[in-house]
Chain A
């Protein structure tokens, strides 16, 4: 579904990603871990099409299309979803209104007819259960005055509404207490199917107790330096990142 080859990206001339290779197939969950500043969030942003990042080398093929050629909105319409680490506030625009615009633009792109108010609300009611989100929250201005947990829940709710093929969760666990973490993870797990895939970007193993990955990759200095299964995450939890850093850094100096 997603094939990243030798991806290099920089911001304001500073290289951040230095040759990422990653294959993600339908039905899989991949976790990207790594110390601060290793390029995890950059990878998520580059995949979603954030303009400040300049791709200097490499390619990304998503469902047979050159993802890097597509505008951010078209990537979204093709089925790429990014759950933001810091969801943005839009005053005066209710979550409901925002999502209805989004859902209908995505539907239009896919050649489906727009949902009328009734159908949209029915769909909303159904998806709201997934993340135990309150209707009142959705009639408020998007993310304005939401708590950290409410923002993240709203992200997963939007994910449920937009039904993406590839979901990228960028540190969705940050700022969540244990209950919110459980709710958000439950939502993600229920949305999982054999036809979609998820990339989970996280610092901590904790989230992976709830969202169990098929593969774990360690990102360091803009490269994937180690890949493994869930066990790798546990090992990292126990030993920290230093042993990997040392191994890589000593290799580099040789």
Chain B
């Protein structure tokens, strides 16, 4: 084995940092999936009848659908009947504010470096903390509500703002969109809801922190973000899970609606448990994320740093319906050991003068497989549509794979679509050059990888960018030796 491969191997064999779990008394649904379970969840959440009917309709549709098999990933069939679809920490009284939330639950988040105490919290970020199936607390709600901004758990939104939920739920990702979206529509338990009224620029970053704790439980959260005319919001999402031997399913749906002149920036740092060095355990991350630039001059920008999960299947997309609307997708996906990622985006140009930009940086190490899959579609009336795509792959070692699957579908001759792709390897030369200047090999890899991913990391809000840089280095630690 050549030196750089040895180096890469050692560097990628680092343990997962958030692998611990906590025992709390849980309120759980029985195992399995059927109409009764869906009714059980809906009753538990005291939902209105229309929502139960919506769930049941989705369930009915889901039963007729087949699991997608086109992605470049392999995993054993998931027995959906052996999963639990609801698990929530038992709390005697429903907490009315964060002060009443069980301190033990708050501690879980503190251990993850997320302080839900507003005074101690970083200024400028409001957090909704989702543990397994429910939201345990949302910070800065009062401050935000003064501006008319609604930021709360999905369950709360169903109770407090039913008209808004009813109007937008499933409007971007229809319940029958795909197998996992339909499953989510039937059994989703909680998530975040965010509404920015007309003309309001949200003064702080909104963020949701997802944590899976319980075993044998799937997490099916739903996020809905609505930005009215001239509104702006930057939204962050983070996720971790305990280290368990069995695989766990996470099938989320995120919907974004941007009205005229609105701008939504959605950033994710995904760090679900990736499985151990031998590929045992890890999260199956099958997520549908889509935004619609419904109004003219609106903009939706996705930034994702994907470091976790055993298998990832995720394509944050933009429907560019409004004229002059803009869609962006910036992604760094790192796979190590036995991880598999099939991720990318779809840019659907419908309106005139719409623009999209795709920057995807894949990093593969260990025995992992990393695929970019992207679609650029220009519809008939989308005059002067522009797309620029750049898909780069970086290989560490010689046992991993990088793949690119770009699909381009143009139905308007005025469209301009550019696609660039590169594949490179962290070279022995680069590592030696760094070593010769006194830089250790681990720091050299971190330096090279962060340099490679810089264009994407630059898109992240400051605090997140620093975290993401550390996370990239951590994920790849031990992959070089």
Interface residues of A (CB under 8 A from B): 48-52, 71-73, 75-77, 81-82, 84, 87-88, 90-93, 97-99, 101-103, 105-106, 109, 141, 158, 162
Instruction: Assess whether B451 is in contact with A73, with CB atoms less than 8 Å apart.
Output: no
Instruction: Assess whether B451 is in contact with A90, with CB atoms less than 8 Å apart.
Output: yes
Cβ–Cβ < 8 Å partners of B432 in chain A: 48, 50-51, 72, 88
Instruction: Assess whether B436 is in contact with A72, with CB atoms less than 8 Å apart.
Output: yes
Cβ–Cβ < 8 Å partners of B448 in chain A: 90, 93
Can you give 14 contacting A-B residue pairs, CB < 8 Å? A49-B436, A77-B438, A84-B433, A88-B433, A90-B430, A90-B447, A91-B452, A93-B448, A93-B450, A93-B451, A98-B434, A101-B443, A102-B437, A141-B451
> Which of B434, B447, B450 has most chain A Cβ within 10 Å?
B434
| Cα(A20)–Cα(B445), bound, Å | 34
| Cα(A71)–Cα(B438), bound, Å | 10
Closest residue to B424 on the A side, CB-wise?
A91
The 8 lowest CB-CB distance pairs between A and B, nearest first, are: A92-B451, A93-B451, A102-B437, A72-B435, A76-B438, A106-B438, A88-B433, A92-B454
Instruction: Assess whether B3 is in contact with A73, with CB atoms less than 8 Å apart.
Output: no
Instruction: Assess whether A162 is in contact with B438, with CB atoms less than 8 Å apart.
Output: yes
Cβ–Cβ < 8 Å partners of A101 in chain B: 439, 443, 447
Does B79 sit at the interface, judged by CB under 8 A?
A: no
| Cα(A48)–Cα(B440), bound, Å | 14
Cβ–Cβ < 8 Å partners of B438 in chain A: 73, 76-77, 102-103, 105-106, 109, 162
> Which of B435, B436, B441, B447 has most chain A Cβ within 10 Å?
B436
> Which of B3, B447, B455 has most chain A Cβ within 10 Å?
B447
Instruction: Assess whether B447 is in contact with A93, with CB atoms less than 8 Å apart.
Output: yes
Which of B3, B430, B452 is the one whose CB lies under 8 Å from A88? Answer: B430
Which of B428, B435, B452 is the one whose CB lies under 8 Å from A76? Answer: B435
Interface residues of B (CB under 8 A from A): 3, 427-430, 432-441, 443, 447-448, 450-455
A112 to chain B, nearest CB (A): 12
B434 to chain A, nearest CB (A): 8
| Cα(A115)–Cα(B246), bound, Å | 47
Instruction: Assess whether A73 is in contact with B429, with CB atoms less than 8 Å apart.
Output: no
| Cα(A51)–Cα(B2), bound, Å | 9
Closest residue to B392 on the A side, CB-wise?
A91
Closest residue to A92 on the B side, CB-wise?
B451
A73/B450 contact (C-beta < 8 A), A88-B433, A92-B455 known? no
Cβ–Cβ < 8 Å partners of A106 in chain B: 437-438
| Cα(A162)–Cα(B447), bound, Å | 18
Instruction: Assess whether A73 is in contact with B435, with CB atoms less than 8 Å apart.
Output: yes
| Cα(A87)–Cα(B434), bound, Å | 11
- Known pairs A48-B432, A73-B441, A76-B436 / 5 extra A-B pairs, C-beta < 8 Å: A49-B435, A50-B432, A52-B3, A71-B435, A106-B438
B186 to chain A, nearest CB (A): 44
Which of B3, B429, B437 is the one whose CB lies under 8 Å from A98? Answer: B437
Instruction: Assess whether B443 is in contact with A105, with CB atoms less than 8 Å apart.
Output: yes
- Is the contact region of chain B dominated by helix, strand, or loop, or is it mixed? helix
Number of A-B contacts (CB under 8 A): 78
Cβ–Cβ < 8 Å partners of A72 in chain B: 432, 435-436
Closest residue to A78 on the B side, CB-wise?
B438
A165 to chain B, nearest CB (A): 13
Instruction: Assess whether B452 is in contact with A51, with CB atoms less than 8 Å apart.
Output: no
| Cα(A77)–Cα(B448), bound, Å | 20
| Cα(A105)–Cα(B433), bound, Å | 14
Cβ–Cβ < 8 Å partners of B455 in chain A: 92
A162/B428 contact (C-beta < 8 A), A90-B451, A98-B447 known? no
A73/B439 contact (C-beta < 8 A), A87-B433, A141-B451 known? yes
A15 to chain B, nearest CB (A): 20
B15 to chain A, nearest CB (A): 24
Closest residue to A94 on the B side, CB-wise?
B451
Cβ–Cβ < 8 Å partners of B440 in chain A: 73, 105
| Cα(A84)–Cα(B435), bound, Å | 13
Cβ–Cβ < 8 Å partners of B453 in chain A: 92
Instruction: Assess whether A92 is in contact with B452, with CB atoms less than 8 Å apart.
Output: yes
| Cα(A141)–Cα(B429), bound, Å | 16
Cβ–Cβ < 8 Å partners of B443 in chain A: 101, 105
A162/B435 contact (C-beta < 8 A), A51-B428, A90-B447 known? no
B6 to chain A, nearest CB (A): 10
Cβ–Cβ < 8 Å partners of A77 in chain B: 438
Cβ–Cβ < 8 Å partners of A73 in chain B: 435-436, 438-441
> Which of A73, A101, A105 has most chain B Cβ within 10 Å?
A73
| Cα(A162)–Cα(B436), bound, Å | 11
Closest residue to A91 on the B side, CB-wise?
B451
Closest residue to B435 on the A side, CB-wise?
A72
Closest residue to A144 on the B side, CB-wise?
B451
| Cα(A72)–Cα(B439), bound, Å | 9
Which of B3, B429, B430, B439 is the one whose CB lies under 8 Å from A105? Answer: B439
Closest residue to B422 on the A side, CB-wise?
A91
A143 to chain B, nearest CB (A): 9
Cβ–Cβ < 8 Å partners of A141 in chain B: 451
| Cα(A106)–Cα(B429), bound, Å | 20
Closest residue to B443 on the A side, CB-wise?
A101
| Cα(A71)–Cα(B427), bound, Å | 18
| Cα(A231)–Cα(B95), bound, Å | 90
Closest residue to B457 on the A side, CB-wise?
A92
A243 to chain B, nearest CB (A): 36
Instruction: Assess whether A82 is in contact with B436, with CB atoms less than 8 Å apart.
Output: yes
Closest residue to A88 on the B side, CB-wise?
B433
> Which of B3, B432, B437 has most chain A Cβ within 10 Å?
B437
| Cα(A90)–Cα(B436), bound, Å | 14
A14 to chain B, nearest CB (A): 17
